[in-house]
Structure 1
Amino acid sequence: MDLGTTVWHTQTTGDTDVEKGPDPQCSICFTTYDNVFKTPKQLDCTHTFCLECLSRLVTISMDPDEGKISCPFCRHLTPIPKNGPPALTTSREVLCRLPKHQQHEENVWLEGEKLCYMRPPKTGMPAFCICTDIGASARGARAAPQTRSRPSLLERLTNWKKLLLFIVIMVLVAVIVLWPLQCIVTTGSMRCVPRPPQPNLITTSTTAPRTLTHH
């Protein structure tokens, strides 16, 4: 009896950077995906990151002439649409792994250096707009190298004064510590003045001469 061989196939996906757990997270900020600012966006290389992190990367590192962003993992370039990172492809596979109330992607748009979202009205509450700044960190990263300027002449003189004062203090400390030691070695006491020689005391006994009296 010929028994057929059973072959098991394992299907793999391109989202290798998404944690295989109940709460998939962005591999840059390690925040759980959602359907608003943390919407999972897929690059052309199939790596997936949240919308907010990709928007910050675009603000910092995108070449304005090429209009492309480099993947943080494989450096593959992905063109950025005219409407910005919110128009990137949404990873439906990751979105379907979220809770049911988050599986519908909300409308998020780019307004200057902010990601904005219009929150729908709820019972007794009107609709309102929520925005998150994606340009503040980029400006800080760019301004940090420019703030390093050469020290002025006054700062240099101040540094030299501090160095000179430190040298003087170290010399005084060395003198205060080493001078008594030298005195102890050379003179045998804390005083550096040598002791005068002690006169030899010679004790002599004198006897009064006897006077002879003649009777």
Structure 2
Amino acid sequence: MEPQLKDPEDHGPPDEPLPDLECAVCFGQFNNIFNTPKILQCNHTFCLECLARINIISAQPESIQCPLCRASTPLPALGLPKLATDPTVLSCLPEPMQHVYSIRFSRDQGKLQVKRVPSSAPPCSRETRHSLDLGVPADGPQAERQSQTAFGLSLFLRLVKMPICRLLFMALGMLAVVSLTVGIVIILSQRK
């Protein structure tokens, strides 16, 4: 069950527009765990999960590039979860969600984990996840193997699109089929 957001009339002067309460990348509603509203130096706000996913595929793990304006924000020494939390967005969340959980980000493992629950937070429900797998980092050994495989496949597909190569691959394929057929016929004839 989704918690109810505060009434817009309860938030500050009526002249000020309400902040967007959804991440501009995933369109998920901000919360105080993995979708904590983190603000970049360019003043754009995104959820922690999306920023972690961006960081995992980034070639520069020590900074984060804004998905909207492409401005770079250096990461704090203690990592991505230590980016500033947007206080305006946080203040619009329901009271129990205004206390941010302590989160650990392991880029090497591609994982966000709840490190510590704030003492003022209500008890965790069974539905609360304590870790979130984000995928393999872009510079990990498995990613390197995947990129080599992808390079080989893309090279093959580019070659197949070329007329001469297409003809050569078709000829080699036919030769392989004929050779395999002849080999099977020879083996079967020797058994009789």
Which band: TM-score by shorter chain?
0.5 to 0.7
Cα gap change, 1:100/1:143 in structure 2, threshold over 3 Å: closer, same or farther? farther
- Hey, what does 2:94 align to over in structure 1? 99
Identity %: 37
Q: Deviations over 1:70-118 (max 9, x none)?
A: 1111111101012211000000110111122111111111234211014
Alignment of 1:79 onto 2:74: yes
Q: Distance in 1 between matches of 2:167 and 2:97?
A: 59
- Structure with larger Rg: 1
Q: Give the helix-richer structure, 1 or 2.
A: 2
In the superposition, the TM-score normalised over structure 2's length comes to 0.59
Aligned residue for 1:69, secondary structure, equals: strand
Unpaired stretches in structure 1, ≥5 consecutive residues: 1-8, 165-215
Instruction: Determine whether 1:147 maps to 2:116.
Output: no
Contact 2:30 2:47 in 1 (8 A): yes
On the 8 A contact 1:62/1:69 being kept in 2, the answer is: no
Distance 2:144 2:23 in 1: 24
CA distance in 1, matches of 2:149, 2:172: 25
Aligned length: 142
* In 2: Cα distance, 1:156 partner to 1:33 partner: 55
**AA aligned opposite 2:171:** W
Determine if contact 1:118/1:129 at 8 Å carries over to the other structure: no
> Given the superposition, is the C-alpha separation of residues 40 and 107 from structure 1 closer, same or farther in structure 2, using an over 3 Å criterion?
same
What is the CA RMSD across the aligned residues, in angstroms? 3.8
Which runs of 5 or more structure 2 residues have no equivalent in the other structure? 1-13, 160-165, 176-192
Matches within 5 A, 1:1-215: 10-11=15-16, 19=20, 24-64=21-61, 67-111=62-106, 112=108, 113-118=110-115, 122=123, 130-136=130-136, 138=138, 145-148=147-150, 149=152, 150-151=155-156, 159-160=170-171
How far apart are the structure 2 equivalents of 1:146 and 1:101?
Answer: 47
CA distance in 1, matches of 2:78, 2:113: 13
Q: CA deviation at 1:136?
A: 3.2
